[in-house]
Structure 1
């Protein structure tokens, strides 16, 4: 059994009593100092943690602001891309219409040109046929007249007139 349960232990002249009181005072002082030191360390750690939390909150706010800015930029870029796409589609439609109109105009011009060339070729062919017919007729007329005049034995001036007739008909 421990000594502090005995009555002579609590006597003020007992050295064990004073050792116990000294030990209690020592532990009390150590406890008081340790508690202040531990409380100071805990408070310091709490301040450090609070600073870290404040920094994290600030960084989060900055990140959210940056995210909002990036989202706004993305929305603006998407809007601009949609506008550009609409403009490109409108330009493509307009260019297609213009190309169609130009093609139709070109087809009409080429058809008219082809018709003029055909008419010109027909006129030229008709002129060539007429010229060939006139020449053939003049040759036949010359031969007929030469045959008749050979039979009639006319003078030389008639022969020259007949030869000149062929040249005039051409």
Structure 2
């Protein structure tokens, strides 16, 4: 039955039926649309749709306002964090510059100390080398003297052996004994 009524109303509201006749007739499409619009608005007001839409819009506005406040708070917090990180970065940069400067100064001091130590080491080695040269020279001079003495003693012994007779040998021994006796007493 409802199906039949719907079909009848659809045919009655068709433009062919609505185009003829006076304005306040169901056959006039403008009148039918106006009545349908008023009924639609009435249904919306009856079910309190405008207040529901207004309430939804107000709730959405409150939510947007809360989101904006939260975004502002987050922005302020982000600014504070950024400032904190920038301060920390500046402090770390200054600290690293101080560390680098201290390391450079320490390296320069170590280089100067190493240079001083090297000069002292070279001076000690030169002194040691000079001492070794002097010792070798003294040793060589002693060896030459000893060799000269032994050569002289051998030559003197050979000369004395050629010149020595039994009588001169006895006289020489007696003279040596007298010298030793004189030095001991």
Classify the TM-score, shorter chain.
0.7 to 0.9
In the other structure, the counterpart of 2:150 is 135
Report Cα offsets for 1:71-94 as digits up to 9, x if no partner. 111111011001100110011111
Q: Superposed, which structure 2 residues align to 1:1-170 within 5 Å?
A: 5=24, 27-28=41-42, 30-31=44-45, 33-149=48-164, 152-154=165-167, 157=170
Question: RCO higher in 1 or 2 (8 Å CA, sep ≥ 6)?
Answer: 1
Give the RMSD, CA atoms, in angstroms.
2.6
Moved more, 62-71 or 78-87: 62-71
Q: SS in structure 1 opposite 2:167?
A: coil
CA distance in 2, matches of 1:2, 1:143: 181
Q: Where in structure 1 are there 5+ consecutive unaligned residues?
A: 7-19, 162-170
**TM-score, normalisation: structure 2:** 0.68
How many residues were matched structurally?
144
CA deviation after TM superposition for structure 1 residue 24, in Å: 5.2
TM-score by length of 1: 0.74
Name the CA distance, whole Å, in 1 between partners of 2:170 and 2:100: 92
Structure 1's consecutive aligned runs of 4 or more residues displaced over 2 angstroms after TM superposition are: 1-6, 23-32, 152-161
